[in-house]
């Protein structure tokens, strides 16, 4: 019962902050101290999508810098009303491009220093994507749809795993494959960054949407 009350309070606080007229101003200001709050030791990020709900469990001790970034992006609504732009069936699902081109511009070069690698890409695990060079994690998250051991040679930092709704993740629309922007290394995301949701909805109307994300702390 106590856990349910804590989760409900966290969800209400998140909803309240998102109703503020200052929300877009906050998204356009990556230097605001709100983006640097430390994540709890364990938290759950609940993603409401057009396919249903899935939940990521985020563990701070697996990568503090990445966990703090993801926690705050989720907590402050960065992923709300965004598109799951890359789903390669049997490989990965990826999201993190914002629907507002001005927000994408504000965050474009806000790279994170690397955490120690934890590159065990088992099915359901997730991490920040990065360019093929150090210290280039940003906002894009990939979820492994299979045991992708071929990626274990690269220094990804796995931050947690899907703990509910893996069937929802599996069902995300994959018909565009790598053609709808692909990954951060392929150099084809510019039109999505500059055009935002308007471009993605026009050119790739079947992409699934993240409606909103709520965050709750897990008491172990």
What does the DSSP assignment read for 168-201? HHHHS--TTTTSSS--TTTT--HHHHHHHHHHHH
Residue 220's pLDDT band, with cuts at 50, 70 and 90, is: confident
Mean pLDDT across 94-116:
98
- For 34-42, what is the mean pLDDT? 98
Check if the beta carbon of residue 104 is closer than 8 Å to that of residue 98: yes
Q: What is the pLDDT of residue 187?
A: 86
Query: What pLDDT is recorded for position 20?
Result: 54
| Mean pLDDT of all residues in 166-172 | 98
What is the DSSP secondary structure assignment for residue 151, as one 8-state letter? G
pLDDT tens digits for range 124-162: 999 999 998 999 999 999 999 999 999 999 999 999 999
User: Which segment of 9-23, 99-113, 127-141, 183-197 scores lowest on mean pLDDT?
Assistant: 9-23
- Binned at pLDDT 50, 70 and 90, residue 39 comes out as very high
The pLDDT tens digits for 14-35 are: 443 454 558 999 999 999 999 9
Domains (range + CATH), the chain: 2-217 (2.40.100.10)
High-pLDDT (> 90) share of the chain, %? 87
Please name the residues in contact with 83: beta carbons below 8 A apart, sequence gap of 6 or more.
95, 97, 99, 197, 200, 201, 204, 207, 208, 209, 210
Sole residue written with tokens 């200001």: 29
d(CA 82, CA 151): 26
pLDDT digits (tens, 9 = 90+) for 61-93: 999 999 999 999 999 999 999 999 999 999 999
């Amino acid at each position: 019962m106590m856990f349910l009350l804590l989760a409900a309070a966290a969800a209400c606080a998140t909803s309240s902050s998102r109703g503020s007229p200052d929300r877009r101003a906050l998204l356009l200001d990556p230097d605001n101290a709100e983006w640097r709050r430390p994540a709890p030791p364990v938290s759950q990020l609940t993603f409401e999508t057009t396919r249903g709900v899935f939940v990521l469990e985020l563990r701070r001790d697996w990568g503090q810098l990445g966990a703090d970034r993801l926690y705050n992006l989720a907590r402050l609504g960065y992923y709300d009303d965004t598109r799951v732009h890359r789903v390669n069936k049997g490989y990965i699902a990826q999201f993190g491009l914002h629907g507002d081109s001005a927000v994408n511009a504000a965050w474009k070069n806000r790279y994170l220093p690397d955490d120690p690698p934890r590159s065990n890409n088992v099915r359901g695990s997730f991490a920040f994507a990065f360019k093929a060079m150090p210290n280039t994690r940003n906002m894009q998250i990939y979820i492994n749809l299979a045991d992708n051991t071929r990626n274990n040679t690269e220094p990804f930092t796995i931050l947690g795993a899907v703990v509910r709704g893996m069937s929802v993740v599996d069902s995300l629309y994959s018909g565009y494959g790598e053609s709808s922007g692909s990954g951060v290394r392929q150099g084809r995301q510019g039109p999505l960054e500059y055009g935002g949701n308007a471009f993605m909805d026009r050119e790739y109307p079947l992409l699934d949407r993240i409606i909103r994300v709520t965050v709750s702390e897990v008491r172990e």
